[in-house]
Structure 1
Protein backbone atom coordinates (compact mmCIF):
# COMPACT_ATOMS: atom_id res chain seq x y z
CA UNK A 1 0.00 0.00 0.00
CA UNK A 2 1.51 3.42 -0.93
CA UNK A 3 2.38 5.68 1.91
CA UNK A 4 -0.31 8.30 2.43
CA UNK A 5 0.85 11.90 2.33
CA UNK A 6 0.25 13.66 5.65
CA UNK A 7 -2.10 16.64 5.78
CA UNK A 8 0.61 19.29 6.27
CA UNK A 9 2.78 17.70 3.56
CA UNK A 10 -0.21 17.70 1.23
CA UNK A 11 -0.84 21.40 1.87
CA UNK A 12 2.82 22.14 1.17
CA UNK A 13 2.68 20.14 -2.06
CA UNK A 14 -0.44 21.99 -3.18
CA UNK A 15 1.08 25.37 -2.39
CA UNK A 16 4.30 24.59 -4.23
CA UNK A 17 2.30 23.27 -7.17
CA UNK A 18 1.04 26.82 -7.90
CA UNK A 19 4.43 28.55 -7.57
CA UNK A 20 6.01 29.95 -10.79
CA UNK A 21 8.87 27.90 -12.15
CA UNK A 22 12.27 29.11 -10.95
CA UNK A 23 14.77 30.32 -13.55
CA UNK A 24 17.69 28.01 -14.30
CA UNK A 25 20.39 28.20 -11.63
CA UNK A 26 18.20 30.43 -9.46
CA UNK A 27 18.14 29.43 -5.79
CA UNK A 28 14.69 28.74 -4.29
CA UNK A 29 13.96 31.05 -1.40
CA UNK A 30 12.93 28.95 1.62
CA UNK A 31 9.68 29.95 3.23
CA UNK A 32 7.61 28.83 6.19
CA UNK A 33 4.03 27.78 5.56
CA UNK A 34 1.71 29.41 8.06
CA UNK A 35 -1.13 27.09 9.10
CA UNK A 36 -4.28 28.39 10.73
CA UNK A 37 -4.53 26.16 13.81
CA UNK A 38 -8.03 27.36 14.65
CA UNK A 39 -9.27 26.59 11.15
CA UNK A 40 -7.72 23.12 11.23
CA UNK A 41 -9.33 22.45 14.58
CA UNK A 42 -12.71 23.53 13.22
CA UNK A 43 -12.23 21.18 10.28
CA UNK A 44 -11.46 18.42 12.76
CA UNK A 45 -14.65 19.08 14.70
CA UNK A 46 -16.65 19.05 11.47
CA UNK A 47 -15.11 15.70 10.55
CA UNK A 48 -15.98 14.37 14.01
CA UNK A 49 -19.58 15.45 13.50
CA UNK A 50 -19.67 13.58 10.17
CA UNK A 51 -18.19 10.51 11.86
CA UNK A 52 -20.79 10.65 14.62
CA UNK A 53 -23.60 10.83 12.07
CA UNK A 54 -22.19 7.84 10.18
CA UNK A 55 -21.83 5.91 13.43
CA UNK A 56 -25.53 6.44 14.17
CA UNK A 57 -26.22 4.37 11.05
CA UNK A 58 -23.53 1.82 12.04
CA UNK A 59 -21.33 2.83 9.10
CA UNK A 60 -18.21 2.37 11.19
CA UNK A 61 -15.79 1.77 8.31
CA UNK A 62 -16.63 5.19 6.90
CA UNK A 63 -16.75 6.87 10.29
CA UNK A 64 -13.40 5.59 11.56
CA UNK A 65 -10.98 7.44 9.20
CA UNK A 66 -12.87 10.69 9.77
CA UNK A 67 -12.65 10.28 13.53
CA UNK A 68 -8.94 9.44 13.36
CA UNK A 69 -8.20 12.53 11.28
CA UNK A 70 -10.40 14.61 13.57
CA UNK A 71 -8.29 13.53 16.56
CA UNK A 72 -5.18 14.82 14.75
CA UNK A 73 -6.75 18.15 13.77
CA UNK A 74 -8.47 18.73 17.13
CA UNK A 75 -6.24 16.88 19.62
CA UNK A 76 -7.43 18.93 22.59
CA UNK A 77 -11.08 17.99 22.21
CA UNK A 78 -12.14 15.32 24.68
CA UNK A 79 -15.33 14.80 22.68
CA UNK A 80 -13.34 13.83 19.59
CA UNK A 81 -11.24 11.31 21.53
CA UNK A 82 -14.40 9.97 23.18
CA UNK A 83 -15.98 9.50 19.75
CA UNK A 84 -12.88 7.73 18.44
CA UNK A 85 -12.76 5.48 21.49
CA UNK A 86 -16.41 4.65 21.06
CA UNK A 87 -15.87 3.66 17.44
CA UNK A 88 -12.96 1.42 18.39
CA UNK A 89 -15.20 -0.10 21.03
CA UNK A 90 -17.90 -0.83 18.47
CA UNK A 91 -15.39 -2.52 16.16
CA UNK A 92 -13.88 -4.58 19.03
CA UNK A 93 -10.46 -2.90 18.80
CA UNK A 94 -10.29 -2.80 22.57
CA UNK A 95 -6.68 -1.72 23.15
CA UNK A 96 -7.09 1.20 20.75
CA UNK A 97 -10.43 2.04 22.38
CA UNK A 98 -8.87 2.21 25.83
CA UNK A 99 -5.98 4.38 24.61
CA UNK A 100 -8.37 6.88 22.99
CA UNK A 101 -10.73 6.90 25.96
CA UNK A 102 -7.89 7.48 28.42
CA UNK A 103 -6.85 10.45 26.29
CA UNK A 104 -10.41 11.77 26.56
CA UNK A 105 -10.35 11.18 30.31
CA UNK A 106 -7.09 13.10 30.69
CA UNK A 107 -8.67 16.07 28.89
CA UNK A 108 -11.92 15.92 30.86
CA UNK A 109 -11.80 13.82 34.05
CA UNK A 110 -15.38 14.79 34.92
CA UNK A 111 -17.00 13.01 31.97
CA UNK A 112 -18.82 10.02 33.45
CA UNK A 113 -19.65 8.59 30.02
CA UNK A 114 -15.94 8.16 29.29
CA UNK A 115 -15.56 6.14 32.50
CA UNK A 116 -18.56 3.99 31.53
CA UNK A 117 -16.97 3.37 28.13
CA UNK A 118 -13.66 2.40 29.75
CA UNK A 119 -15.61 0.02 31.97
CA UNK A 120 -17.28 -1.50 28.92
CA UNK A 121 -13.90 -2.03 27.22
CA UNK A 122 -12.51 -3.70 30.33
CA UNK A 123 -15.65 -5.82 30.62
CA UNK A 124 -15.16 -7.06 27.07
CA UNK A 125 -11.57 -7.92 27.98
CA UNK A 126 -13.03 -9.97 30.84
CA UNK A 127 -11.21 -7.75 33.34
CA UNK A 128 -14.23 -7.54 35.60
CA UNK A 129 -12.46 -6.04 38.62
CA UNK A 130 -11.19 -3.18 36.46
CA UNK A 131 -14.62 -2.77 34.88
CA UNK A 132 -16.30 -2.55 38.30
CA UNK A 133 -13.88 0.20 39.30
CA UNK A 134 -14.58 2.26 36.17
CA UNK A 135 -18.35 1.83 36.48
CA UNK A 136 -18.24 2.86 40.13
CA UNK A 137 -16.18 5.95 39.26
CA UNK A 138 -18.64 6.83 36.52
CA UNK A 139 -21.60 6.47 38.86
CA UNK A 140 -20.00 8.90 41.31
CA UNK A 141 -20.31 11.49 38.53
CA UNK A 142 -23.66 10.25 37.15
CA UNK A 143 -25.29 8.36 40.06
CA UNK A 144 -28.72 8.03 38.42
CA UNK A 145 -27.59 6.78 35.02
CA UNK A 146 -29.65 3.63 34.22
CA UNK A 147 -27.15 2.22 31.73
CA UNK A 148 -24.25 2.79 34.12
CA UNK A 149 -26.15 1.02 36.90
CA UNK A 150 -27.00 -1.82 34.50
CA UNK A 151 -23.37 -2.17 33.37
CA UNK A 152 -22.16 -2.34 36.97
CA UNK A 153 -24.80 -5.00 37.59
CA UNK A 154 -23.45 -7.02 34.66
CA UNK A 155 -19.91 -6.78 36.02
CA UNK A 156 -21.09 -7.99 39.43
CA UNK A 157 -23.00 -10.78 37.66
CA UNK A 158 -19.82 -11.99 35.97
CA UNK A 159 -18.10 -11.95 39.37
CA UNK A 160 -20.99 -14.12 40.65
CA UNK A 161 -21.93 -11.38 43.09
CA UNK A 162 -25.59 -12.05 42.36
CA UNK A 163 -27.14 -10.05 45.20
CA UNK A 164 -25.07 -7.00 44.27
CA UNK A 165 -25.99 -7.46 40.60
CA UNK A 166 -29.72 -7.63 41.34
CA UNK A 167 -29.45 -4.52 43.52
CA UNK A 168 -27.89 -2.58 40.63
CA UNK A 169 -30.48 -3.86 38.15
CA UNK A 170 -33.28 -2.77 40.48
CA UNK A 171 -31.71 0.67 40.82
CA UNK A 172 -31.55 0.92 37.02
CA UNK A 173 -35.27 0.11 36.79
CA UNK A 174 -36.06 2.61 39.54
CA UNK A 175 -34.50 5.29 37.32
CA UNK A 176 -36.19 4.04 34.15
CA UNK A 177 -39.34 1.94 34.59
CA UNK A 178 -39.14 0.73 30.98
CA UNK A 179 -35.53 -0.45 31.17
CA UNK A 180 -36.40 -4.05 30.38
CA UNK A 181 -32.80 -5.37 29.92
CA UNK A 182 -32.24 -5.00 33.68
CA UNK A 183 -35.47 -6.88 34.41
CA UNK A 184 -34.43 -9.55 31.92
CA UNK A 185 -31.08 -10.04 33.62
CA UNK A 186 -32.67 -10.44 37.02
CA UNK A 187 -34.54 -13.32 35.39
CA UNK A 188 -31.24 -14.79 34.16
CA UNK A 189 -29.86 -14.81 37.71
CA UNK A 190 -33.01 -16.27 39.25
CA UNK A 191 -33.06 -19.09 36.69
CA UNK A 192 -29.46 -20.02 37.48
CA UNK A 193 -30.33 -20.00 41.18
CA UNK A 194 -33.18 -22.44 40.58
CA UNK A 195 -35.95 -19.89 41.12
CA UNK A 196 -37.78 -20.68 37.87
CA UNK A 197 -41.03 -19.06 38.99
CA UNK A 198 -39.18 -15.86 39.88
CA UNK A 199 -37.38 -15.90 36.52
CA UNK A 200 -40.65 -16.36 34.64
CA UNK A 201 -42.15 -13.40 36.48
CA UNK A 202 -39.22 -11.17 35.50
CA UNK A 203 -39.32 -12.21 31.85
CA UNK A 204 -43.07 -11.70 31.69
CA UNK A 205 -42.56 -8.17 33.03
CA UNK A 206 -39.85 -7.51 30.42
CA UNK A 207 -42.07 -8.74 27.57
CA UNK A 208 -44.96 -6.62 28.84
CA UNK A 209 -42.72 -3.56 28.56
CA UNK A 210 -41.28 -4.46 25.15
CA UNK A 211 -43.25 -6.99 23.12
CA UNK A 212 -40.59 -7.06 20.39
CA UNK A 213 -37.77 -7.99 22.79
CA UNK A 214 -36.68 -11.41 21.51
CA UNK A 215 -34.39 -12.23 24.44
CA UNK A 216 -36.86 -12.36 27.36
CA UNK A 217 -39.46 -13.89 25.06
CA UNK A 218 -37.19 -16.81 24.16
CA UNK A 219 -36.08 -17.28 27.77
CA UNK A 220 -39.73 -17.28 28.83
CA UNK A 221 -40.54 -19.80 26.10
CA UNK A 222 -37.83 -22.19 27.32
CA UNK A 223 -38.91 -21.87 30.96
CA UNK A 224 -42.60 -22.44 30.18
CA UNK A 225 -41.84 -25.41 27.92
CA UNK A 226 -39.77 -27.06 30.64
CA UNK A 227 -42.50 -26.30 33.15
CA UNK A 228 -44.95 -28.33 31.07
CA UNK A 229 -46.70 -25.54 29.15
CA UNK A 230 -45.30 -26.92 25.92
CA UNK A 231 -47.63 -25.47 23.29
CA UNK A 232 -47.40 -22.01 24.80
CA UNK A 233 -43.62 -22.30 25.05
CA UNK A 234 -43.25 -23.45 21.45
CA UNK A 235 -45.46 -20.64 20.14
CA UNK A 236 -43.47 -18.05 22.11
CA UNK A 237 -40.20 -19.53 20.90
CA UNK A 238 -41.32 -19.29 17.28
CA UNK A 239 -42.32 -15.68 17.80
CA UNK A 240 -39.02 -14.80 19.48
CA UNK A 241 -36.95 -16.32 16.68
CA UNK A 242 -39.04 -14.58 14.03
CA UNK A 243 -38.17 -11.31 15.74
CA UNK A 244 -34.44 -12.06 15.94
CA UNK A 245 -32.97 -15.42 14.94
CA UNK A 246 -29.57 -14.54 16.38
CA UNK A 247 -30.93 -15.96 19.62
CA UNK A 248 -30.79 -19.41 18.04
CA UNK A 249 -26.98 -19.16 18.32
CA UNK A 250 -25.69 -20.49 21.64
CA UNK A 251 -22.52 -18.37 21.39
CA UNK A 252 -24.68 -15.26 20.96
CA UNK A 253 -26.62 -16.22 24.07
CA UNK A 254 -23.36 -16.57 26.01
CA UNK A 255 -22.40 -13.05 24.92
CA UNK A 256 -25.70 -11.92 26.38
CA UNK A 257 -24.78 -13.48 29.74
CA UNK A 258 -27.08 -16.50 29.65
CA UNK A 259 -26.00 -18.92 32.37
CA UNK A 260 -25.11 -22.59 32.06
CA UNK A 261 -28.47 -23.93 33.22
CA UNK A 262 -30.50 -21.77 30.86
CA UNK A 263 -28.08 -22.47 27.99
CA UNK A 264 -28.45 -26.23 28.47
CA UNK A 265 -32.25 -26.01 28.49
CA UNK A 266 -32.28 -23.64 25.51
CA UNK A 267 -30.01 -25.92 23.47
CA UNK A 268 -32.55 -28.75 23.88
CA UNK A 269 -35.40 -26.38 23.07
CA UNK A 270 -33.75 -25.19 19.86
CA UNK A 271 -33.33 -28.79 18.72
CA UNK A 272 -37.08 -29.47 18.86
CA UNK A 273 -38.53 -30.26 15.39
CA UNK A 274 -41.07 -27.42 15.50
CA UNK A 275 -38.39 -24.86 16.40
CA UNK A 276 -36.02 -26.24 13.76
CA UNK A 277 -38.80 -25.97 11.19
CA UNK A 278 -39.45 -22.35 12.19
CA UNK A 279 -35.76 -21.52 11.83
CA UNK A 280 -35.58 -23.22 8.45
CA UNK A 281 -38.63 -21.35 7.23
CA UNK A 282 -37.18 -18.05 8.39
CA UNK A 283 -33.93 -18.84 6.59
CA UNK A 284 -35.82 -19.58 3.38
CA UNK A 285 -37.85 -16.39 3.66
CA UNK A 286 -34.72 -14.35 4.25
CA UNK A 287 -32.96 -15.91 1.27
CA UNK A 288 -35.91 -15.46 -1.07
CA UNK A 289 -35.44 -12.60 -3.58
CA UNK A 290 -37.60 -9.55 -3.15
CA UNK A 291 -40.29 -9.41 -5.85
CA UNK A 292 -39.64 -6.62 -8.34
CA UNK A 293 -42.54 -4.33 -9.27
CA UNK A 294 -43.95 -4.84 -12.75
CA UNK A 295 -43.24 -2.14 -15.27
Structure 2
Protein backbone atom coordinates (compact mmCIF):
# COMPACT_ATOMS: atom_id res chain seq x y z
CA UNK A 1 0.00 0.00 0.00
CA UNK A 2 3.42 7.26 0.81
CA UNK A 3 9.54 15.77 2.79
CA UNK A 4 10.63 18.98 2.34
CA UNK A 5 13.90 20.08 0.53
CA UNK A 6 18.28 26.28 -7.92
CA UNK A 7 21.01 24.02 -8.44
CA UNK A 8 24.64 25.02 -7.65
CA UNK A 9 26.69 24.80 -10.80
CA UNK A 10 30.15 23.16 -10.75
CA UNK A 11 32.94 25.61 -10.23
CA UNK A 12 35.22 26.09 -13.22
CA UNK A 13 38.98 26.06 -12.76
CA UNK A 14 40.35 29.18 -14.40
CA UNK A 15 43.88 27.87 -14.93
CA UNK A 16 45.61 30.90 -13.39
CA UNK A 17 48.93 30.44 -11.64
CA UNK A 18 49.16 31.99 -8.21
CA UNK A 19 52.63 33.22 -9.09
CA UNK A 20 51.37 35.07 -12.14
CA UNK A 21 51.76 38.84 -11.99
CA UNK A 22 48.60 40.58 -13.10
CA UNK A 23 48.51 44.02 -14.70
CA UNK A 24 47.38 46.69 -12.30
CA UNK A 25 44.19 47.27 -14.23
CA UNK A 26 43.33 43.60 -14.75
CA UNK A 27 40.11 42.17 -13.36
CA UNK A 28 40.74 39.68 -10.60
CA UNK A 29 38.84 36.44 -11.38
CA UNK A 30 36.05 35.93 -8.88
CA UNK A 31 34.07 32.76 -8.38
CA UNK A 32 31.23 32.79 -5.88
CA UNK A 33 31.30 29.76 -3.61
CA UNK A 34 27.92 29.39 -1.87
CA UNK A 35 28.10 28.66 1.84
CA UNK A 36 26.74 25.34 3.02
CA UNK A 37 23.60 27.00 4.38
CA UNK A 38 22.70 28.23 0.89
CA UNK A 39 23.38 24.84 -0.66
CA UNK A 40 21.16 23.21 1.95
CA UNK A 41 18.41 25.73 1.32
CA UNK A 42 18.62 25.13 -2.42
CA UNK A 43 18.44 21.38 -1.89
CA UNK A 44 15.41 21.66 0.35
CA UNK A 45 13.70 23.94 -2.14
CA UNK A 46 14.24 21.45 -4.95
CA UNK A 47 12.92 18.65 -2.75
CA UNK A 48 9.77 20.62 -2.04
CA UNK A 49 9.24 21.07 -5.77
CA UNK A 50 9.82 17.35 -6.35
CA UNK A 51 7.30 16.47 -3.65
CA UNK A 52 4.73 18.77 -5.27
CA UNK A 53 5.27 17.04 -8.62
CA UNK A 54 4.70 13.68 -6.94
CA UNK A 55 1.42 14.90 -5.50
CA UNK A 56 0.44 16.11 -8.98
CA UNK A 57 1.14 12.68 -10.45
CA UNK A 58 4.32 13.59 -12.34
CA UNK A 59 6.83 11.03 -10.99
CA UNK A 60 9.30 11.25 -13.89
CA UNK A 61 9.79 15.00 -13.41
CA UNK A 62 9.84 14.51 -9.65
CA UNK A 63 12.63 11.93 -9.97
CA UNK A 64 14.76 14.35 -11.99
CA UNK A 65 14.41 17.05 -9.35
CA UNK A 66 14.97 14.62 -6.49
CA UNK A 67 18.21 13.54 -8.18
CA UNK A 68 19.41 17.15 -7.90
CA UNK A 69 18.46 17.13 -4.22
CA UNK A 70 20.74 14.21 -3.43
CA UNK A 71 23.57 15.87 -5.36
CA UNK A 72 23.27 18.91 -3.10
CA UNK A 73 22.48 16.99 0.10
CA UNK A 74 24.12 13.57 -0.32
CA UNK A 75 24.17 12.90 3.44
CA UNK A 76 20.46 13.55 4.01
CA UNK A 77 18.49 10.28 3.92
CA UNK A 78 15.23 12.17 3.29
CA UNK A 79 16.44 13.17 -0.16
CA UNK A 80 17.27 9.57 -1.04
CA UNK A 81 13.86 8.43 0.20
CA UNK A 82 12.13 11.08 -1.89
CA UNK A 83 14.15 10.02 -4.92
CA UNK A 84 13.30 6.37 -4.29
CA UNK A 85 9.59 7.12 -4.04
CA UNK A 86 9.66 9.06 -7.31
CA UNK A 87 11.59 6.24 -8.99
CA UNK A 88 9.14 3.66 -7.66
CA UNK A 89 6.17 5.59 -9.02
CA UNK A 90 7.85 5.93 -12.39
CA UNK A 91 8.65 2.17 -12.48
CA UNK A 92 12.43 2.61 -12.10
CA UNK A 93 12.63 -0.35 -9.75
CA UNK A 94 16.37 -1.00 -9.90
CA UNK A 95 17.21 2.66 -9.38
CA UNK A 96 14.72 2.85 -6.51
CA UNK A 97 16.37 -0.11 -4.80
CA UNK A 98 19.76 1.63 -5.04
CA UNK A 99 18.35 4.87 -3.61
CA UNK A 100 16.71 3.02 -0.71
CA UNK A 101 19.95 1.17 0.03
CA UNK A 102 21.77 4.53 0.22
CA UNK A 103 19.07 5.92 2.51
CA UNK A 104 19.37 2.90 4.80
CA UNK A 105 23.13 3.34 5.04
CA UNK A 106 22.53 6.87 6.31
CA UNK A 107 19.60 6.06 8.62
CA UNK A 108 19.32 2.32 9.36
CA UNK A 109 16.77 2.78 12.14
CA UNK A 110 14.27 4.61 9.94
CA UNK A 111 11.30 2.25 9.76
CA UNK A 112 9.99 3.97 6.63
CA UNK A 113 13.03 2.83 4.66
CA UNK A 114 12.46 -0.80 5.64
CA UNK A 115 8.77 -0.47 4.71
CA UNK A 116 9.66 1.02 1.33
CA UNK A 117 12.13 -1.79 0.64
CA UNK A 118 9.47 -4.31 1.61
CA UNK A 119 6.93 -2.75 -0.74
CA UNK A 120 9.51 -2.76 -3.52
CA UNK A 121 10.28 -6.44 -2.94
CA UNK A 122 6.55 -7.19 -3.00
CA UNK A 123 6.10 -5.32 -6.27
CA UNK A 124 9.15 -7.04 -7.70
CA UNK A 125 7.70 -10.52 -7.01
CA UNK A 126 9.83 -11.32 -3.94
CA UNK A 127 7.23 -11.86 -1.18
CA UNK A 128 9.49 -13.88 1.11
CA UNK A 129 12.09 -11.10 1.15
CA UNK A 130 9.27 -8.57 1.59
CA UNK A 131 8.12 -10.33 4.76
CA UNK A 132 11.58 -10.03 6.34
CA UNK A 133 11.95 -6.35 5.44
CA UNK A 134 8.46 -5.42 6.60
CA UNK A 135 8.81 -7.30 9.87
CA UNK A 136 12.11 -5.53 10.57
CA UNK A 137 10.42 -2.20 9.94
CA UNK A 138 7.53 -3.14 12.20
CA UNK A 139 9.98 -3.87 14.99
CA UNK A 140 10.90 -0.19 14.75
CA UNK A 141 7.37 1.09 14.22
CA UNK A 142 4.66 -1.41 15.04
CA UNK A 143 1.76 0.96 14.41
CA UNK A 144 2.15 1.49 10.67
CA UNK A 145 -1.12 0.26 9.16
CA UNK A 146 0.14 0.28 5.56
CA UNK A 147 3.10 -1.92 6.48
CA UNK A 148 0.79 -4.46 8.12
CA UNK A 149 -1.33 -4.39 4.95
CA UNK A 150 1.71 -5.04 2.73
CA UNK A 151 2.74 -7.82 5.08
CA UNK A 152 -0.69 -9.43 4.68
CA UNK A 153 -0.37 -9.28 0.89
CA UNK A 154 3.05 -10.94 1.09
CA UNK A 155 1.61 -13.74 3.23
CA UNK A 156 -1.19 -14.29 0.68
CA UNK A 157 1.41 -14.67 -2.06
CA UNK A 158 3.25 -17.18 0.13
CA UNK A 159 0.02 -19.17 0.70
CA UNK A 160 -0.06 -18.30 4.41
CA UNK A 161 -3.72 -17.28 4.84
CA UNK A 162 -3.83 -17.29 8.65
CA UNK A 163 -0.83 -14.96 8.87
CA UNK A 164 -2.32 -12.80 6.12
CA UNK A 165 -5.63 -12.47 7.95
CA UNK A 166 -3.86 -11.51 11.17
CA UNK A 167 -1.87 -8.79 9.38
CA UNK A 168 -4.95 -7.37 7.64
CA UNK A 169 -6.89 -7.29 10.92
CA UNK A 170 -4.02 -5.45 12.61
CA UNK A 171 -4.03 -2.91 9.76
CA UNK A 172 -7.75 -2.20 10.09
CA UNK A 173 -7.47 -2.01 13.90
CA UNK A 174 -4.87 0.73 13.51
CA UNK A 175 -6.87 2.61 10.86
CA UNK A 176 -10.58 2.09 11.24
CA UNK A 177 -11.44 3.32 7.72
CA UNK A 178 -8.78 1.18 6.01
CA UNK A 179 -11.30 -0.49 3.74
CA UNK A 180 -8.68 -2.19 1.57
CA UNK A 181 -7.47 -4.14 4.60
CA UNK A 182 -11.03 -5.18 5.50
CA UNK A 183 -11.63 -6.17 1.88
CA UNK A 184 -8.56 -8.40 1.91
CA UNK A 185 -9.71 -10.02 5.14
CA UNK A 186 -12.82 -11.05 3.23
CA UNK A 187 -10.72 -12.40 0.36
CA UNK A 188 -8.92 -14.70 2.80
CA UNK A 189 -12.08 -15.75 4.63
CA UNK A 190 -13.89 -16.62 1.41
CA UNK A 191 -11.07 -18.91 0.28
CA UNK A 192 -11.21 -20.59 3.71
CA UNK A 193 -14.87 -21.40 3.14
CA UNK A 194 -16.07 -18.83 5.70
CA UNK A 195 -18.54 -17.23 3.31
CA UNK A 196 -20.80 -15.61 5.91
CA UNK A 197 -17.83 -13.91 7.57
CA UNK A 198 -16.53 -12.78 4.20
CA UNK A 199 -19.90 -11.31 3.26
CA UNK A 200 -20.05 -9.43 6.56
CA UNK A 201 -16.61 -7.90 5.91
CA UNK A 202 -17.52 -6.85 2.36
CA UNK A 203 -20.71 -5.22 3.63
CA UNK A 204 -18.61 -3.39 6.20
CA UNK A 205 -16.29 -2.18 3.42
CA UNK A 206 -19.20 -0.88 1.40
CA UNK A 207 -20.41 1.22 4.31
CA UNK A 208 -17.04 3.00 4.10
CA UNK A 209 -16.65 3.00 0.29
CA UNK A 210 -20.03 2.30 -1.30
CA UNK A 211 -18.92 2.64 -4.93
CA UNK A 212 -15.71 0.60 -4.78
CA UNK A 213 -15.73 -1.94 -7.62
CA UNK A 214 -13.76 -4.73 -5.96
CA UNK A 215 -15.92 -5.30 -2.85
CA UNK A 216 -19.11 -4.87 -4.90
CA UNK A 217 -18.11 -7.58 -7.37
CA UNK A 218 -16.67 -9.88 -4.71
CA UNK A 219 -19.83 -9.52 -2.63
CA UNK A 220 -21.90 -10.16 -5.75
CA UNK A 221 -20.02 -13.39 -6.40
CA UNK A 222 -20.43 -14.58 -2.81
CA UNK A 223 -24.17 -13.78 -2.89
CA UNK A 224 -24.55 -15.52 -6.25
CA UNK A 225 -22.87 -18.56 -4.71
CA UNK A 226 -25.63 -18.61 -2.10
CA UNK A 227 -28.37 -18.55 -4.69
CA UNK A 228 -32.03 -17.97 -3.92
CA UNK A 229 -33.20 -14.46 -3.09
CA UNK A 230 -29.61 -13.15 -3.02
CA UNK A 231 -29.33 -13.56 -6.80
CA UNK A 232 -31.01 -10.25 -7.64
CA UNK A 233 -28.65 -8.29 -5.43
CA UNK A 234 -25.71 -10.19 -6.88
CA UNK A 235 -26.64 -9.21 -10.46
CA UNK A 236 -27.21 -5.56 -9.51
CA UNK A 237 -23.87 -5.25 -7.67
CA UNK A 238 -21.97 -7.03 -10.44
CA UNK A 239 -23.33 -4.71 -13.14
CA UNK A 240 -22.40 -1.66 -11.04
CA UNK A 241 -18.89 -2.97 -10.39
CA UNK A 242 -18.17 -3.69 -14.06
CA UNK A 243 -19.27 -0.19 -15.06
CA UNK A 244 -17.07 1.32 -12.34
CA UNK A 245 -13.93 -0.72 -13.12
CA UNK A 246 -14.09 -2.77 -16.35
CA UNK A 247 -10.79 -4.52 -15.64
CA UNK A 248 -12.50 -6.67 -13.01
CA UNK A 249 -14.05 -8.62 -15.87
CA UNK A 250 -10.56 -10.04 -16.48
CA UNK A 251 -9.48 -13.13 -14.59
CA UNK A 252 -5.87 -11.96 -14.83
CA UNK A 253 -6.77 -8.65 -13.17
CA UNK A 254 -8.64 -10.41 -10.37
CA UNK A 255 -5.60 -12.60 -9.77
CA UNK A 256 -3.36 -9.51 -9.73
CA UNK A 257 -5.61 -8.13 -6.97
CA UNK A 258 -4.93 -11.33 -4.98
CA UNK A 259 -8.30 -12.98 -5.54
CA UNK A 260 -8.05 -16.67 -4.80
CA UNK A 261 -9.11 -19.46 -7.18
CA UNK A 262 -12.44 -20.11 -5.45
CA UNK A 263 -13.60 -16.50 -5.74
CA UNK A 264 -12.38 -16.19 -9.34
CA UNK A 265 -14.24 -19.35 -10.34
CA UNK A 266 -17.46 -18.19 -8.70
CA UNK A 267 -17.10 -14.76 -10.32
CA UNK A 268 -16.62 -16.38 -13.73
CA UNK A 269 -19.86 -18.29 -13.26
CA UNK A 270 -21.64 -15.10 -12.23
CA UNK A 271 -20.39 -13.16 -15.25
CA UNK A 272 -21.71 -15.84 -17.60
CA UNK A 273 -25.29 -15.08 -16.59
CA UNK A 274 -27.45 -13.80 -19.46
CA UNK A 275 -28.62 -10.78 -17.46
CA UNK A 276 -25.04 -9.50 -17.31
CA UNK A 277 -24.12 -10.00 -20.97
CA UNK A 278 -24.43 -6.31 -21.88
CA UNK A 279 -22.31 -5.25 -18.91
CA UNK A 280 -19.71 -7.97 -19.52
CA UNK A 281 -19.42 -7.10 -23.23
CA UNK A 282 -19.01 -3.41 -22.41
CA UNK A 283 -16.40 -4.17 -19.75
CA UNK A 284 -14.44 -6.39 -22.13
CA UNK A 285 -14.45 -3.56 -24.69
CA UNK A 286 -13.13 -1.07 -22.12
CA UNK A 287 -10.74 -3.28 -20.15
CA UNK A 288 -6.97 -3.32 -20.59
CA UNK A 289 -6.25 -4.89 -24.00
CA UNK A 290 -3.42 -7.09 -22.71
CA UNK A 291 -5.54 -8.78 -20.04
CA UNK A 292 -6.73 -12.36 -20.16
CA UNK A 293 -10.53 -12.44 -20.10
CA UNK A 294 -10.72 -15.79 -18.39
CA UNK A 295 -14.20 -16.23 -19.94
**Same fold per superposition (TM over 0.5):** yes
**Are the equivalent residues in 2 in contact too, given 1:12–1:33 (CA < 8 A)?**
no
Match of 1:237 in 2: 238
Aligned twin of 2:254:
253
CA distance in structure 1 between the aligned counterparts of 2:35 and 2:277, rounded to whole angstroms: 63
Give 1:215 shift.
1.2
1:43-62 equivalences under 5 Å are 43-62=42-61
User: Which digits, 9 at most, give the CA deviation of each residue in 1:70-129, with x for residues without a partner?
Assistant: 121221221111111111222222221111111111212222111111000011122122
SS of residue matched to 2:9: helix
Deviation at 1:264, TM superposition (A): 2.3
Moved more, 70-79 or 189-198: 189-198
Distance 1:272-1:89 versus aligned 2 partners, 3 A rule? farther
Kindly indicate which of the two structures has a greater share of residues assigned to helix: 1
Q: How does 1:202-213 map to 2 (within 5 A)?
A: 202-213=201-212
2:264 aligned with 1:263: yes
Compare relative contact order (CA 8 Å, sep 6+) and give the higher one, 1 or 2.
2
The CA deviation at 1:173 is 1.8
Q: Which residue of 2 aligns with 1:20?
A: none
- Equivalent residues of 2:77, 2:102 under 8 A apart: yes
Relative to structure 1, the CA distance from residue 276 to residue 102 in structure 2 (aligned partners, 3 Å threshold; closer, same or farther) is farther
Check conservation: 2:8, 2:39, Cα contact below 8 A.
Answer: no
- Tell me what 1:21 maps to: none
Map of 2:127 onto structure 1: 128
Aligned pairs for 1:54-203 (under 5 A) are 54-203=53-202
Between the aligned partners of 1:129 and 1:82, the Cα distance in structure 2 is 23
Question: Per-residue displacement from partner, 1:263-292 (whole Å, max 9, x unpaired)?
Answer: 22223433444434235567999xxxxxxx
- Taking the aligned partners of 1:103 and 1:151, their CA distance within structure 2 comes to 22
Q: Do the aligned partners of residues 150 and 73 (structure 1) sit closer, same or farther apart at CA in structure 2, a change above 3 Å counting?
A: same
- The alpha carbon displacement at 1:179 in A equals 1.5
Stretch of structure 1 that moved more, 238-247 or 90-99 = 238-247
Uncovered stretches (5+) of structure 2, i.e. residues with no partner: 1-6, 15-26, 287-295
Distance, in Å, in 2 between the alignment partners of 1:79 and 1:91 is: 18
Give the Cα separation in 2 of the matches to 1:12 and 1:247: 58
CA–CA distance in structure 2, aligned partners of residues 44 and 215 of structure 1: 42
**3-state SS of 1:8 partner:** coil
SS at match of 1:95: helix
Looking at structure 2, the residues matched to 54 and 190 of structure 1 have their Cα atoms a distance apart, in angstroms, of 39
Distance 1:133 1:169 in 2: 17
- Which aligned runs of 4 or more in structure 1 are off by greater than 4 angstroms? 28-33, 279-285
- The CA deviation at 1:185 is 0.9
Scaled by the length of structure 2, the TM-score of the pair is 0.80
| In 1, Cα distance between equivalents of 2:72 and 2:255 | 40
TM-score (norm 1): 0.80
Greater alpha carbon shift after TM alignment, 82-91 vs 235-244: 235-244
Following the alignment from structure 1 to structure 2, what is the Cα–Cα distance between the partners of residues 193 and 98?
35
Aligned residues: 267
Structure 1: how far apart are the matches of 2:160 and 2:282?
Answer: 41
